[in-house]
Amino acid sequence: MDVTYWYRIVLGFIPTPVIEAPILIGLALFALTWLSRGPWVTLPGDAHRRLLLTRIGIWGSLSIVAVATTVGLVAAFAGYDPTGVAGWWRRPAPVIAAALAIGVAALLLAREPLPAPGERAITPRRHWWSFAPKGQLWLAIGSAVLLTLTSVWQGFTTTLLPTGAQMIGRPTSDGGTLITSVAPEDRILPDGPFVDNPSGGGWLNNGVTLAVLAILFAILITALAQDANRPIPARSSAPGIRESREATAKILVALALGGTIITLGMLWMFVGYLGGWQVTVEASNDSAPGLPQDELGLISLTPDFAGFAGIFRFGGWFLQGIGVALLLRLAVDIWRTNRRRDAQDSERAHEDPTTSSPTAAEAAR
């Protein structure tokens, strides 16, 4: 018996919805991240900023993971929703959590005391991306672009169902029929251009995701610009200021990246499920009168993108795991780095440091 045999045995005891939830693959990828044991983030030497970033990074990361895990399990166990609109709040939930975490961080950073106007260094105005890690920032932007394109694509898949329309394969309370009429009372939403069809696509489901994504990046850009141009004392240490701002930007971008990747994975996984649906009906003179004789018999219907739906399904599952693993590693690394910094501060407390460093005003030139 090989390893795959025991692998299948173990997975056989785990319900499929749990396997497909983001937390399981996230924990597996999180374990693999320790092949690189070096810290992924650093914290500044300033004790106040370090404590603030520690709280933001740990609680922000864990909050996004908790939200993603909860909505992932809800979606996995909820089953088919005949209204087709259950996804409007579940898919963007990780992005909402990331936006809230970054927004709270921006408010806390704004409350830090500022130097008096006459004691501030003269520094050039920085772009909002000046201290952000370029690699992570481009990954976040790329994930947002993919999420936007997929949401727009799925938004255009909607079709407003007219009263009396017929759907194929709609489950019903009496056991289900292959072709049923949509009763007026089943249209729980008012008529209009934003009403979805029961496929779960459409603008109601995906429009919320686009709006929340725009809010997330607006908050992120505002927070980064605010910290990049924060007034600093004229005699502050230039390396210390840069270290503080780079650490802050890296944590904020990582939170945005994690939330965006998880939501992108959730949407891709839904698209994969949607593309894998196949409905087979038997057309006869009784059930479909008026059809030509050569069109009677078994008819199979699949979405246009059924051929590559599996890529979306498993790619989305993997992306969710990457986002969860990234956030878990971020939280653990921040905790480890903070402990190491505290230990270093305790050692320095017994010494009398006299080393000098260039001022912020000198570095700005």
Tens digits of residue pLDDT in 152-198: 988 877 555 555 555 544 444 444 444 444 455 444 333 433 333 44
33 has a pLDDT exceeding 50: yes
- State the pTM of this model: 0.79
Helix 238-276 vs helix 22-32: angle between axes, to the nearest 10 degrees? 130
232 has a pLDDT exceeding 50: yes
Distance CA(167)–CA(153), nearest Å, equals 22
Tens digits of residue pLDDT in 315-365: 998 999 999 999 999 999 999 988 888 777 777 776 655 544 444 444 444
- What three-state secondary structure class fits 325? helix
List, in order, residues 6 or more apart from 322 with CB less than 8 Å away.
26, 29, 261, 265
**Domain extent for 270:** 3-113+123-158+196-231+248-286+296-347
Residue 271 has what pLDDT? 83
- Nearest of 227, 207, 247, 220 to residue 99 by alpha carbon: 220
Does 271 fall in a domain? yes
Distance CA(62)–CA(66), nearest Å, equals 6
Residue 269 has what pLDDT? 85
Pairing of strands 166-168, 297-301: unpaired
226, HSE (Cβ side, Cα atoms, 13 Å): 19
Does 352 fall in a domain? no
Does 236 fall in a domain? no
Does 361 fall in a domain? no
Q: How many domains does the chain have?
A: 1
Residue 223 identity: A
Residue 364 has what pLDDT? 42
Average pLDDT estimate for 106-133? 81
Average pLDDT estimate for 42-66? 91
68 has a pLDDT exceeding 60: yes
Does 171 fall in a domain? no
Does 31 fall in a domain? yes
Does 328 fall in a domain? yes
Residue 106 has what pLDDT? 94
Does 172 fall in a domain? no
Q: Is 313 within 8 Å of 268 (Cβ atoms)?
A: yes
> In whole numbers, what is the pLDDT of the chain averaged over residues?
76
- Nearest of 15, 160, 154, 10 to residue 79 by alpha carbon: 15
Beta bridge partners of 281: 299
